[in-house]
Structure 1
Amino acid sequence: MSNRQCISSSKYVLLYILHLNSISTDISAGMDDVDLELDEMELVAAAAGYYYYNSITRQPRRSVSPSGSGFMTEVLNGHDDVCREMFRMDKHVFHKLCDTLRQRGMLRDTAGVMIEEQLAIFLNIVGHNERNRVIQERFQHSGETISRYFNNVLKAIKSLSREFLQPPPLSTPPEILRSNRFYPYFKDCTGVVDGMHIPAHVPAKDQSRFRNKNGVLSQNVLAACTFDLQFIFICPGWEGSAADSRVLRAVLNDPDQNFPQIPEGKYYLVDAGYSNMEGFIAPFQGVRYDLHEYRGVNQLPGNAKELFNHRHSSLRNAIQKSFNVLKARFPILKLAPQYAFHIQRDIVIAACVIHNHIRREERNDWLFSSAEGGTVEELPDVDDQPDLHLASPQEQIASSLRESIAAEMWNDFTCKWDEW
């Protein structure tokens, strides 16, 4: 439509409005009493706004075909790096997860959105901590649609947790079996247990409980992992002020938590914040432990307890690597998302499920490859000390086991001097 037509049409609209106003003021007044000397630029602006509004309200909403939106096509048909960046995994790993969700009926294709796009919406949110309005623009869906598919996928992936979070095999882990530093000393060790703090968004009435020792609102997540960097167990939702040892005791005393049963003679490694007890071997207290303490002129251990602690720390480093990979892949875990707290808990579980799925399907994943290249430095947790109490018979047995391992290790070390 030409500018002249816009001006002409807008004049008729304005004349009609002014006519109605004049009638309400004085029914007997004529149109001649109305001042029609309007600035031409105002008319142009009014006309443009009028016709723009009509064009928007009358324009049919952009539909998304079952084959996926333009964004999906661009990512899945583009370079592999684009898929890794947007979906946080390789293409074949992404398609395998979609197939699993489809074949088991956990998600279903809809007339407008296939499972691939539903999963992509979820991964864009947790993999980039994006706001709903950003995802709306990216996928061309309403905010309600984005929220619905996010929650559907979250529920579906969480339902896979029993399958993907599995107890480790009873055999000695290959990471121990292949190393003279760890085998045969840790041959009965099955994994590592530790706590992980995730920033939390909670109501004001709960903030004192969720404020951790660093003054940050967080949920304390109890986790167990294998030396292959896969999660065995995850229990999120504990308040940030809760000590790791308290969380572990509560989980072990609650059968509903389903902590994997520890076979007789087997154990997990834990840090100094936990008690040394049956099924959980902690380092010696009062002896240097963290890897950065074994550098420089005093890098060699001076006794059996120091040697034990150094190797214990090196082996326990697996869980720090797992935490680092998890948070690097899903940055939503680094910030407090504006979701209800039960959703925040479920996001942690879903992230661990996807973490394990990727590890199983693509061992050379870029994040896992970078984590396996070295050790992760960990600052000592001086405020999280184990409870001081009289040792139980079970704890005395655990202490005897630790002493015997340290003695055997030290004897071999002093006789062979090959590696420490």
Structure 2
Amino acid sequence: MRKDAFATLVSMLKRTQFLRDNPQSKVEEQVAKFLYIIGNNFRNHTIRFFYRQSGETVSWHFHQVLKAIISLEDIFLKQPDGFKCPPEIRNNPKYWHYFKFKYILPGWERSASDSRILDNALTRKMDKLIVPQGKYYLVDVGFQLKTGFLVPYRSTRYHLKEYSVHQPENSQELFNLCHASLRNEIERAFGVLKKRFPILGSGAEPYYDVDTQADIVLACCILHNYLMGIDPNEGLVEEVDTELRKGQVQANVARSSLAEECREGELLRKRIATDMWRDYDINL
């Protein structure tokens, strides 16, 4: 984060009711500690060592800054009204990497199904997901096709690599190609989010309770949207693009190896079935 972006963020957070200068530390220091934790996935004891403060003080500052950032939700997490589209998206045929998060519903356990979470988002009393009149969201095959939510065609080519050699041959394949292209941009946005805030991508045992984990996800998305408007960090985006390309190459190699194994298995099964039928026919 650039110095000017940090200064602007601190200025906004100072206007909330959660952060104040105190004899031990200024607001700038409290915010810096918070960003240091989520930006490096550091634990309390690491910050305590650097700042020579008690664990209780570090924890208090972390949670106060967390509350302050979440209080900016109405500014940086606005659901689309269906009338406006950012020019960076509207004027770019490849959709660019400008995507911001518009609706966040953290706190669900990993085992929850996509459809269950979506139903809750649409029916909950607070923070309800609203689909603008006449608009729709693109969703993957884990969801149900219905008004306002479009899934790709099943049993039809979908992934971008499947169209690298053979172009779409009908309307359904063209729809799936465009759907997959947008999904790729969304995966890039999530990649940038996790790259910017490693605390989200850590596979280690969670250090915070469930409610705090949900708040951290929300705060990171708010900060992501803020930074996309003032400090997008092109180098970070390029890192994510490189990783995605490497991942696609590795997936292609693995898929090619699996296809070869399937062909060998098919030949073996066919040979065994033929031998069995020959022996069966002889014994009749």
TM-score w.r.t. length of structure 1: 0.54
Find the aligned partners of 1:133 and 1:146 in 2 and give their Cα distance. 9
1:385-404 Cα offsets, whole Å, 9 max, x none, are xxxxxxxxxxxxxxxxxxxx
1:261-298 Cα offsets, whole Å, 9 max, x none, are 222111111111112221112111111111122234xx
In the TM superposition, what is the alpha-carbon distance from 1:301 to its structure 2 partner? 1.5
The equivalent of 1:415 in structure 2 is none
Find 1:243's aligned residue among 113, 118, 121.
113
Find the aligned partners of 2:65 and 2:186 in 1 and give their Cα distance. 27
Work out whether 1:229 is the aligned partner of 2:105: no
- How is 1:369-380 mapped onto 2 (pairs within 5 angstroms)? 370-371=239-240
Runs of 4+ in 1 over 6 A off after TM superposition: 372-379
Find the aligned partners of 2:207 and 2:190 in 1 and give their Cα distance. 22
The answer to which structure has the higher helix fraction is 2
**One-letter amino acid matched to 1:118:** Q
**One-letter amino acid matched to 2:128:** N
The equivalent of 2:171 in structure 1 is 304
CA-based RMSD of the aligned residues comes to 2.5
Please state whether the residue corresponding to 1:256 is helix, strand or coil. coil
Q: Is the 8 A contact 1:122 1:150 kept in 2?
A: yes
Work out whether 1:292 is the aligned partner of 2:204: no
In the TM superposition, what is the alpha-carbon distance from 1:166 to its structure 2 partner? 0.7
The equivalent of 2:91 in structure 1 is 178
In the TM superposition, what is the alpha-carbon distance from 1:369 to its structure 2 partner? 5.4
The answer to which structure has the higher strand fraction is 1
Find 1:361's aligned residue among 223, 230, 234.
230
Aligned pair in 2 of structure 1 residues 369, 91: CA closer, same or farther (>3 Å)? farther
Find the aligned partners of 1:145 and 1:265 in 2 and give their Cα distance. 50
Q: Is the 8 A contact 2:17 2:68 kept in 1?
A: no
Work out whether 1:334 is the aligned partner of 2:247: no
Work out whether 1:104 is the aligned partner of 2:34: no
In the TM superposition, what is the alpha-carbon distance from 1:175 to its structure 2 partner? 5.3
Aligned pair in 2 of structure 1 residues 179, 339: CA closer, same or farther (>3 Å)? closer
Please state whether the residue corresponding to 2:106 is helix, strand or coil. strand
Find 1:253's aligned residue among 108, 123, 143.
123
**One-letter amino acid matched to 1:341:** V
Structure with more contact order per residue of length (Cα contacts < 8 Å, sep ≥ 6): 2
**One-letter amino acid matched to 1:280:** F
Identity of aligned residues (%): 42
In the TM superposition, what is the alpha-carbon distance from 1:345 to its structure 2 partner? 0.9
Q: How many residues align?
A: 245
Work out whether 1:123 is the aligned partner of 2:67: no
1:162-188 Cα offsets, whole Å, 9 max, x none, are 221012351345455435689xxxxxx
Aligned pair in 2 of structure 1 residues 143, 273: CA closer, same or farther (>3 Å)? same
Find the aligned partners of 1:369 and 1:157 in 2 and give their Cα distance. 27
Aligned pair in 2 of structure 1 residues 149, 163: CA closer, same or farther (>3 Å)? same
The equivalent of 2:264 in structure 1 is none
In the TM superposition, what is the alpha-carbon distance from 1:365 to its structure 2 partner? 4.7
**One-letter amino acid matched to 1:171:** K
Aligned pair in 2 of structure 1 residues 123, 363: CA closer, same or farther (>3 Å)? closer
Please state whether the residue corresponding to 2:79 is helix, strand or coil. coil
TM-score w.r.t. length of structure 2: 0.78
In the TM superposition, what is the alpha-carbon distance from 1:130 to its structure 2 partner? 1.1
In the TM superposition, what is the alpha-carbon distance from 1:101 to its structure 2 partner? 0.7
The equivalent of 2:261 in structure 1 is none
Find the aligned partners of 2:234 and 2:97 in 1 and give their Cα distance. 16
Find the aligned partners of 2:14 and 2:46 in 1 and give their Cα distance. 27
Find 2:76's aligned residue among 164, 167, 190.
164
Larger Rg over CA atoms: 1
Find the aligned partners of 1:365 and 1:109 in 2 and give their Cα distance. 33
Work out whether 1:351 is the aligned partner of 2:215: no
Q: Is the 8 A contact 1:107 1:153 kept in 2?
A: yes
